[in-house]
Structure 1
């Protein structure tokens, strides 16, 4: 009971709330005054009589009236925004934002950044930003968004600040919960975290508990005892700075690649240790609340971007990795891709019967089904729009039952039906004696000069890791015969580079499957399609945009968007417009085109991600956006739009075909807060691949066996080994590769 209590105190997700109270953000009173004014401009208090016709109720209910009157400047929103910025923002971005906030707290600084809007004919003639009326502040933020600043024509860093503050402000406002795990805006916008589906079976025992050591609940002495009880040999280093563990295999990361590799090797009779910096949750733990779920289960709390702010990235960071929070799509590696990798990249694995068999094995273990008996609202719209246009639409295989109607799998599947690695492969691994250390972060691989091989300069002896629990000061030195990096395309390269590897291909060739979204509004009173966008399976249908030469240009799918994520991505053009858009949240369908990107980026250092699209990528995304908008209109949307910063949209009632074509011609895909274009888009990515790709020593980070070209005994088993972008959801591909590579490792250990 004490262990369970400690575990629940350690992980806020289990309480379903969010800590409030004392703040450590360190913002000055001047900075906070400016930040509060900006939050109150993004989300102003609006008398209900000023709202436009067409809101959901007339006369408004008390909850709707309270929503319109609510302001982003109200306590504790500004302090929570500052706290989140400090915790999750890029350091230089936070520094830049704080400099702007400080300047806005002075009259001269406001004049420089805001121009004539800060002036008046009344004493003191010049005003600070917070002293201006909300209408003037709104116009200033609009100019920042469009990269137009004050009279000095400052560089476009004000757009960077605008986007950064907008994201943190709206995410906080629509996700912050009270002691009852409720947000006061949710009733007004029609959002609910209640899930009618119950766990498919009540679990008396947590499936992985017998193999888990949660370092968050350990002391240094109890950690030693726990390790010994799991059958691990532990010795203290004479310097007393580290504990040494011995095993056959150590795996860094527990997601799609790491989970499969751990299961295969443990099932082959080898002692396996898995390091996972995230925590372990089961269906009974999930709160379905956006903020704590993102904070506990995603890399950087789900607020992670490329250095130029062009792409927002989602990556799992929990036991099960991305498979625990993904959208369930289980698509096998397309045949044309297999052919290209086998022949063009000269990797025979992908043309072998072993790989095809591995995909079948993976799908069987994860319980993949081909059909869906009842689709959610967004997928109904996608299917209806395609059928109305005579376009082909396919069901998406999922690792859950065909009756699964959970729209919250992105926060962990509350019903327990989704079969991620935490419910499948890791269970197999633990059943064969594997040990999982949670809250434990790998720092570097242990490399020494290789005296026994002329082919590889280094030999990997294991990994050095530390607990994220500050009460455990000693490092863990885990010595192994085989070391596997499976911490994903964003973290494997930095870990390898910081360990001393010099291969220039490590960290390059990063592909992201970048997407832009479009939306369509379907009022309850008009549409015959029922439901809300947060209900039902997230991805159950897809449509392929195919070129004349049969090449797939884009795949159109539907996303998962909680109210906080929705508000951060949706274009802001005024406080009133944003509140009215949020009133339509539950019936505003989003679709996105996913492309197989030819452009690429790099990640050499943790959290420092660069990325660039090429010309064909932009053309394919634009064509995908145009097709998605046609689908929304054909399905009966009364209004459609893009996520371009100027709020590009068109009403469909009475719309002529030539008007719609003109609108489609105006769809642009320029992205990034540093773009020179007046109006820009913010890209998203939930798939990261290829940053330590399999290939020859001239172009790859690892060989065809997944082994480092430089260090014997160091392997990679995650999405970073993909030779190129895939073009579809990559979970099955990553697991199939990991299955084949770990089978080969087991053979090498056996021999």
Structure 2
């Protein structure tokens, strides 16, 4: 059933199911990707009077499609049906693939870019002009549009209460998170698409805003190549996918733009540049960062019901800076929906069954390591396989493993302080802890690839911004160093990770960049 924003206004919305022929569009701006960067960019440019074509590889889904079933959501809404991983299979990559991108499936946590990160980008990478004062009005604007507010303590669920109470008993820093929701019913299924449109994700905010201002949205339409004439992008080639099979239908969409803005994500944006032959200095795909995540499972005598309630509403940055030579980490929570929990939990047979049987008594805490700040930490690399598919390599250094181990120990301490009967790691052979005296067991555990479950829901870098065109892909104003009318405006531009959830940083930077990109179209 068509949503109101699809039926009204001068814009147009076509999905793979609607397209039965080739299309050719002339546009002021072709925006590739409809997530945190692309949606804000498209809406801002359309509001400024630009003719915008918005291309999205994933499908268009509405609240009527969000049935709160993991078996439905992962194949529909996630990259590679929720099975994307690093090349060595050591890190599971959770990444959105639908209209709204990651904002449709993330857990709503919203942070402004930390000032220390902006200062690091300036000092280490020559990124001038992105300071707190410059970004503040843009953060103000998106926070108002998306109703970003602190979640009240009274509505914190049992899973997040563990982090709040445990940190409190240990005397560690803790805070309530801000969330982009309005009239939230505290259902807890944010990662599967919001069935009541309470989440202020891009599919219900900035994408409709863009269409109402005249933008043309093509869903199930994968950009396969950006072509140049001299030093300008003059054509974007896209193929139409069948929503039922996700295979090409044989139809194409060709866009002839004045400007191209690439917002496909920190994995897919570098991949498109590589497919297009636009890696002039060998830096595309380099410096890819993941906030590698370790999780800890706590089992309690009382019910936690971590599958209900806002997935993330408490955070702790107690260990964000751990001193010279150390990688910091921050602590949050993850929901314990059955499929997600079953795939993450270690062990086999009876041991695995026992954990799942007590799912209502389980809490899941996560430690997110802050990569990209130590000298020599180049993160991972996005490249293309021989068949054209994306490959993501990420080698964990000894400093990463040390941080992951210490994060796991900190999470266990929080859970034990909050009253856990037992705490379990996600090792192939899970480590069980029942008291703080057991923590050395984690030191003896195997901290090696595929011997412990690791995850990422935050992909950053790969098209890093910087002053030096020989060491970065785009300038501080997000323009490609070697293509005059090509910009990148998503998390791929970050020259390091953030140490916070990235969506609001992308919102704010895209909102800022749309100003000078739009002025160039007049």
Q: TM-score, normalising length from structure 1?
A: 0.64
Q: Are residue 565 (structure 1) and residue 363 (structure 2) matched?
A: no
Structure 1 CA distance for aligned equivalents of residues 111 and 306 of structure 2 = 23
Corresponding residue for 1:478?
255
How far is 1:581 from its partner?
1.6
How far is 1:714 from its partner?
1.2
The question of whether the paired residues in 2 share the 8 Å contact of 1:251 and 1:486 is answered with yes
Structure 1 CA distance for aligned equivalents of residues 217 and 511 of structure 2 = 19
Residue from 440, 448, 465 that aligns with 2:238: 465
How far is 1:415 from its partner?
2.4
State the SS of the aligned residue for 1:217.
coil
Residue from 204, 210, 217 that aligns with 2:17: 217
**RMSD after superposition:** 2.0
Matches within 5 A, 1:23-42: none
The question of whether the paired residues in 1 share the 8 Å contact of 2:115 and 2:131 is answered with no
**Over alpha carbons, which structure has the higher Rg?**
1
Q: Are residue 613 (structure 1) and residue 396 (structure 2) matched?
A: yes
More deviation, 298-307/280-289: 280-289
Corresponding residue for 2:285?
507
Residue from 374, 395, 419 that aligns with 1:636: 419
Matches within 5 A, 1:197-596: 205-210=3-8, 211-220=11-20, 243-351=23-131, 353-372=133-152, 373-401=154-182, 404-449=185-230, 458-469=231-242, 472-503=249-280, 504-524=282-302, 530-546=303-319, 547=321, 553-573=328-348, 575-596=349-370
Q: Deviations over 1:104-129 (max 9, x none)?
A: xxxxxxxxxxxxxxxxxxxxxxxxxx
Q: Are residue 714 (structure 1) and residue 497 (structure 2) matched?
A: no
Corresponding residue for 1:726?
498
The question of whether the paired residues in 2 share the 8 Å contact of 1:250 and 1:462 is answered with no
More deviation, 555-564/310-319: 555-564
State the SS of the aligned residue for 2:64.
coil
How far is 1:409 from its partner?
0.4
Structure 2 CA distance for aligned equivalents of residues 471 and 581 of structure 1 = 42
Structure 2 CA distance for aligned equivalents of residues 477 and 402 of structure 1 = 40
Corresponding residue for 2:474?
702
The question of whether the paired residues in 1 share the 8 Å contact of 2:159 and 2:335 is answered with no
Q: Deviations over 1:206-252 (max 9, x none)?
A: 4345445333322535xxxxxxxxxxxxxxxxxxxx54211111111
How far is 1:340 from its partner?
1.2
State the SS of the aligned residue for 1:293.
helix
Between the two proteins, the alignment pairs up a number of residues equal to 502
State the SS of the aligned residue for 2:109.
coil
Corresponding residue for 2:407?
624
The question of whether the paired residues in 2 share the 8 Å contact of 1:545 and 1:552 is answered with no
State the SS of the aligned residue for 2:411.
helix
Matches within 5 A, 1:616-695: 616-650=399-433, 652=434, 655=435, 659-672=437-450, 680-695=451-466
How far is 1:723 from its partner?
1.6
The question of whether the paired residues in 1 share the 8 Å contact of 2:238 and 2:254 is answered with yes
How far is 1:663 from its partner?
2.9
State the SS of the aligned residue for 2:13.
strand
The question of whether the paired residues in 2 share the 8 Å contact of 1:517 and 1:592 is answered with yes
Structure 2 CA distance for aligned equivalents of residues 382 and 687 of structure 1 = 21
Q: What are structure 1's unaligned runs of at least 5 residues?
A: 8-204, 222-241, 450-457, 525-529, 673-679
State the SS of the aligned residue for 1:749.
coil
Structure 1 residues 661 and 562, CA gap change in structure 2 (3 angstroms): closer
Q: What are structure 2's unaligned runs of at least 5 residues?
A: none
Task: Specify which structure has the bigger relative contact order, considering alpha-carbon pairs within 8 angstroms and separated by 6 or more residues.
Answer: 2
Structure 1 CA distance for aligned equivalents of residues 60 and 93 of structure 2 = 22
More deviation, 419-428/479-488: 419-428
Corresponding residue for 1:89?
none
How far is 1:630 from its partner?
0.4
State the SS of the aligned residue for 1:684.
strand
Structure 2 CA distance for aligned equivalents of residues 686 and 579 of structure 1 = 26
Q: Deviations over 1:552-588 (max 9, x none)?
A: 8211100123212211221124x12222221012221
More deviation, 627-636/421-430: 421-430
State the SS of the aligned residue for 2:504.
helix
Q: Are residue 601 (structure 1) and residue 380 (structure 2) matched?
A: yes
Runs of 4+ residues over 6 Å off in structure 1? none
